[in-house]
Amino acid sequence: MCGIAGQLCYGNGTPDSSLVAAMARRLAHRGPDGEGSYNRGRIALAHRRLSIIDLSDDACQPMTNEDGSLRLVFNGEIYNYVELREELERAGHRFTSKSDSEVILHAYEEWRAECPARFNGMGAFAIWDEARQELFCSRDRFGIKPFYYAEADGSFLFASEIKALLAHPGVGRKPDEAMLHTYLAWGVSDHTSRTMFEGISQLPPAHSLIVGAEGMRMPERYWSISVNPSVKGDDPDDKTAADLLACLRAAVGIHLRSDVPVGTCLSGGIDSSVLAALINDRIRKEVVESVGARQKTFSAVFSDERYDESRYIGEVVATTGVDASAVSPSPNLLREELPRLVYMQDEPFGSLSIYAQYCVMRLAAGRVKVVLDGQGADELFAGYLAYEGSYIRGLARSFHWYTALRETIGAVRNHAGFFTDAIQQLIVRSKRRDLLKGELPEISRYAGSLDKVLHRELTASNLPALLHYEDRNSMAFSIESRVPFLDVRLAERIAALPLDQKIRNGITKHLLRRAAKGLIPESVRCRKDKMGFVTPEEVWMKGELLPLMQEIFTSDSFRVRPYWDADAVGRNYRAFTEGRSAYSFELFRIACTELWLRQFFDARETVSPPVS
């Protein structure tokens, strides 16, 4: 895991080496173990190294092939690099390191633009092809790792984070109004190639891009995922669950490949608990050097029982005997750390669950260098309770009347409170959109049948943003975060499941629960609520964060923004703190946007990591 940056000049231009060096400095947190650069002709590349596989100098970047015709900068991990290396060696390729990075170089030599489809992993990379005078750029299937780019002064600039591109004084000078309005109204981000900075784009997941002397070509997709629309399948649950568990074991095993210590994020939910149990099961049977004799887990806990999952975490810890560590995120510390959190995220974020994850990553940083996390399971297995509504509507529209009735009864029996609260929240959030100015787009995450909703959630409306948050939170503390549920073999297997093996009788993640029987405590396996790394945001917003929110909502800068009615926001916030209005994420979203505007635009000339 690393940070990458570079500049390719069009025509006969030459790169600005001081600019590329400044871009790399802004990525130092992503790679504290070393740095490297390459500058020749029209291309300049920079790399910040976080050493994970092959810790020797042989794996340093920018990396070259035998004859020096290729130069690579790479951020990520290729988990099947061992198998690919063997295949490439049989084809005549010779390696000088034991790194996965060198596998990318030889894969490009062998398969050119088709090489990304061979990789099972996460990452973004750029290869300078001297013979073709082209820069080949690519991003992993789900966009687990970032790749941002812009054009300026007759050149193509790229980097792992937006803040690095801002080292160029002409890049990202204004917010992208359409993207910002969408985020403020609906909380959606990372759903297109555009960012919230005008002129800065991101390479879409599962796409590659070629840049030559004349400019950029259109990005091309090299992979796509299909979600099975069938309601019922042919195979019995027991057989399918056994197959799924075998595939999940394989995914976890390949994600443990590392030359540095690996731990696990444990929230107390089904997904992370299954990962912890599978890792523990593996180290009982064989030596896994990256894990050690006792697995390390990292959790967030709270004194407020409404948001605390200590009970479930404790049961998993007791069952597995892991070496568990926990942190209790503090609203008082949050006030000090919020500027750095906004800076690290690059763009505003929708809730303080991001801060809980940030605290977990900071906790892990003192003990391991890699963590495994359950991200992606909810979108693959239909784990969010809101998916129940999409499923029932789709069943009714496709004339599956009996199944629709069964699911309605199950949803009401198991989640009546959730749906009542959800309806109330829809009303509150609709009214809060009236606080905003400008043209607001229409976005509906849950429109259409369940298969279409899940495909949208995987590729646009939800998972890309969650992966953005996880990447920045982990890299803020020089931690590599891995997500085994997004192993390509496993993800395609889950996506191919019929819908009733995802939701049945109003219970989400049906087949995962079945596969996990006997693996994790029954109290965790049979949980019907959905939390994750949440925080007592509502409590904090009317308590410890009250002074900060009042300062934001009454400030001169807030009052002149064109995105909201400042007086109406202030009145609405007071109504909430006085108990006359329910809470919704829009209030924090607006406040976070103001902090982002101050940091990245009002203080543009001095953008740097805040001291906290």
Q: What is the largest CA-CA distance in the chain?
A: 72
Instruction: Read off the pLDDT of residues 450-501 as tens digits, 9 standing for 90 and up.
Output: 999 999 999 999 999 999 999 999 999 999 999 999 999 999 999 999 999 9
Judge contact between 553 and 595, C-beta under 8 A. no
What separation in angstroms does the CA of 523 have from each of 258, 266, 516, 519? 32, 15, 12, 12
The pLDDT of residue 120: 98
In sequence order, the 6+-apart residues with CB closer than 8 A to the CB of 210 are 113, 134, 135, 136, 137, 216, 217
- Whether the model clears a pTM of 0.95, i.e. scores above it, the answer is yes
Which of the residues in the chain have pLDDT under 50?
A: none
Q: CB of 139 within 8 A of CB of 204?
A: yes
Q: Whose CA is closest to 504, among 225, 237, 229?
A: 237
SS3 content of the chain, % helix, strand, coil (to 5): 45, 15, 40
Full DSSP string of 571-612 = HHHHHHHTTSS---THHHHHHHHHHHHIIIIITGGG--PPP-
Residues constituting the chain: 612
pLDDT of residue 611: 52
Task: Give me the pLDDT at residue 528, please.
Answer: 86
Q: What pLDDT is recorded for position 284?
A: 92
Kind of pairing between the strands at 296-300 and 63-64: unpaired
pLDDT for res 529? 83
What is the reported pLDDT for 604? 76
Q: What is the DSSP string of 66-88?
A: TTS-EEEEEEEEETTHHHHHHHH
**In terms of Cα–Cα distance, which of 567, 564, 571 is closest to 590?**
564
The whole-angstrom separation of Cα 534 and Cα 264 is 17
Please report the pLDDT score of residue 591 as a whole number: 98
Element (H, E) at 432: helix 401-432
Rounded CA separation 206/46 (Å): 23
Q: What are phi and psi of 28, to 5 degrees?
A: -60, -35
What pLDDT, on a 0 to 100 scale, did the predictor assign at position 608? 62
Tell me which residue has tokens 């796509």. 224
d(CA 61, CA 71): 8
Name the E strands within 99-166.
121-129, 134-139, 148-152, 155-159
- As a CATH number, domain 2-221 is 3.60.20.10
| Integer Cα distance of 603 and 199 in angstroms | 19
Residue spans of the domains in the chain: they are 2-221, 237-385+454-525
CA distance 389 to 375: 22
Rg (alpha carbons) of the chain, rounded to whole number: 24
The residue among 285, 514, 265, 268 whose CA lies nearest residue 381 is: 514
CATH code, 237-385+454-525: 3.40.50.620
